[in-house]
Structure 1
Amino acid sequence: MTEQSNNSTRGYIELSGPDSRKFLQGQVTCDMTTLSQEQSIYGAQCTPKGRIIFLFKASCDEQNNIILQTHSSIVEIAIASLKKYAVFFKTKIVQIDGQPETPELTDLQRLRNGSADVTADTTDMFIPQMLNLDAQGYISFKKGCYTGQEIVARAHYRGAVKRRMHHLQLTASVLPTLGAEILSPEGKAIGNIVSAAKVDDQTIEVLAVLADKSRDSTEIIIAGQSYQVSHLPLPYDIPSGP
């Protein structure tokens, strides 16, 4: 467990140039053709093996530049990943200082919305469905190909998702390390911590990916410490199959 609050500011990436939207359309899970100055969208960039590199909220400014809001710890990794695929496109990718028009959600608010963060500690750990991105509309199954699309589509149409994200409450005074392994009382690995936030000095809430067979567990072990857990609702239904 760590004493850090994990309350970090958001990071911002700007893509400018005539090919920016076309480039992202072939890289991310959401349909970039639906993005406008009036309509933000959410998505993820994945590895060729379908693992999430970073999550983002995409918006479009008055100059038609695309702004990706993500977790601050992942910005450099995200930019490096995007640039690796951008060499044949007329797009410029840079980090910028964000000036959100509305107050940012706190980590606890975001967590209670069922919205995970992927950080530098958890990049390349989860496929999109593990974090319930399909339930939240972060994935378009009608758009064309993008990096990792084959794996994501296979998991969707074959119902091959054996681990899903759940909302838990623990009695604890410090937050778990993001990405920390979760064990059953018998010592079997059953999942990982995705996001965590304090409610008060003795209570925390987490989003945790759990194996289907362990999703109703009332006792878990994190970093050698046993915890009784309560299961809290998510604001969306978790898909049960294709």
Structure 2
Amino acid sequence: MEIRGKRCLEFIQGQASGDISEETKNKDVLFCDEKGFVITNATVINNETLEVIIKRDVAEILKWELEKYSKFYKCEIIIKEKNISGIYDGVDFIKTTSMSNAPINKKNWDLLKLLHFDIDISKDMSLKNRPNEFGYSLEKYVSFTKGCYRGQEIIARLKYLGSKNSTLAIFKNLNADEKNQLLKIGKKIFEIELENMSYGQYIFKSFEHANKLLKSKLAASQSL
């Protein structure tokens, strides 16, 4: 996606959770609605225009959400398809429109992002959960020192109130009975299929029981 207009930086600063005026060229951010529900995660590239790297199937949703405000800044929002390279250095995930010498293939990228609780939002996940329920690192995606942005009040509460004693967990290849067991003690965040294997992410107030029930199906977990 491309944002054009003399005030495009000012416009996106008021929409994205991260500070895109910082010197770093590629900035990971979240776009949320007023209630703090995640529209999508994104990488913003600050060039002559602003490029916003997101999944193709969520582009129309983000465009519609941004166009509620773009007219006040006289900005144009254009959906454009580009080849994106993904790099994982063992610590950080980096997306770039430049060709990389060591890009990760899409299947490996999606699985790595999933298991590190840094999922790239698709259409089916959009506007259904808040950042903490996905497991996003607020230190990575959010600036708590910049000015106002959409969803700021809710996201600030997530930082200061947190989700005490909650645990996120990803299970693989659950059958219907196993899913029902987990829904009795937790909340499903999303399901996704990768490499002919299904994965489901859940959040639990108490993880001990879920872990005992389905330890053999556990793919990853993270305390909040």
**1:203-242 superposed matches below 5 A:** 204=197, 206=199, 208-214=201-207, 217-218=210-211, 219=213, 229-232=217-220, 238=223, 240=224
Counterpart CA distance in 2 for 1:43 and 1:196 is 22
TM-score where L is the length of structure 2: 0.76
Aligned counterparts of 1:66 and 1:90: Cα–Cα separation in 2: 14
SS in 2 for 1:167: strand
Classify 1:22/1:108 alpha carbon distance in 2 versus 1 (closer, same or farther; 3 Å).
Answer: same
Hey, what does 1:99 align to over in structure 2?
83
Question: Does structure 2 conserve the Cα–Cα contact (< 8 Å) formed by 1:50 and 1:127?
Answer: yes
8 A contact 1:131–1:209 mirrored in 2 = no
**8 Å Cα contact 2:43-2:53 kept in structure 1:** yes
Which of residues 130, 153, 156 in structure 1 aligns to 2:159?
156
Deviation of the 1:109 alpha carbon = 3.0
Question: What secondary structure sits across from 1:153 in the alignment?
Answer: helix
2:43 to 57, 76, 80: 57
Q: Deviations over 1:94-114 (max 9, x none)?
A: 001213324464322332343
Deviations 1:53-109 (A, max 9, x none): 121111134xx2111111221111110111111111032110012133244643223
Q: What is residue 26 of structure 2 aligned with on the other side?
A: 40
* Alignment map for 1:73-88 (pairs within 5 Å): 73-88=57-72
Structure 2 residue aligned with 1:134: 137
Q: Which of 177, 188, 196 does residue 192 from structure 1 map onto?
A: 188
Moved more, 72-81 or 130-139: 130-139
Q: Is the 8 A contact 1:183 1:189 kept in 2?
A: no
Q: CA deviation at 1:197?
A: 4.1
Do residues 18 (structure 1) and 6 (structure 2) align? yes
Task: Output the aligned Cα RMSD.
Answer: 2.9
Q: Tell whether 2:113 aligns with 1:117.
A: no
SS at structure 1 position matched to 2:217:
strand
Task: Say whether the 8 Å CA contact 1:163–1:209 is kept in structure 2.
Answer: no
Moved more, 106-115 or 162-171: 162-171
Structure 1 unmatched runs, 5+? 1-12, 177-181, 221-226
Matched-pair contact (CA < 8 Å) for 2:186–2:203: yes
Q: Is the 8 A contact 2:174 2:217 kept in 1?
A: yes
- Normalized per residue, the structure richer in strand is 1
SS of the residue corresponding to residue 169 of structure 2 reads strand
Counterpart of 2:91 in structure 1 is none
User: Which structure 2 segments of 5+ residues have no match?
Assistant: 85-98
Partner secondary structure for residue 210 of structure 1: strand
Q: Relative to 1, partners in 2 of residues 1:193 and 1:130: Cα closer, same or farther, differing over 3 Å?
A: closer
Report if the CA contact (8 A) 2:129-2:189 is conserved: no
So what's the TM-score if we normalise by structure 1? 0.71
Q: Distance in 2 between matches of 1:32 and 1:214?
A: 36
- In the superposition, relative to structure 1, how do residues 97 and 198 fare at CA in structure 2: closer, same or farther (>3 Å)? closer
Give, as a single letter, the amino acid of the residue that structure 2 aligns with 1:71.
Answer: K
Equivalent residue letter for 1:52: V
Higher helix share: 2
User: For residues 131 and 161 of structure 1, do their structure 2 counterparts lie closer, same or farther at Cα, with a shift above 3 Å needed?
Assistant: farther
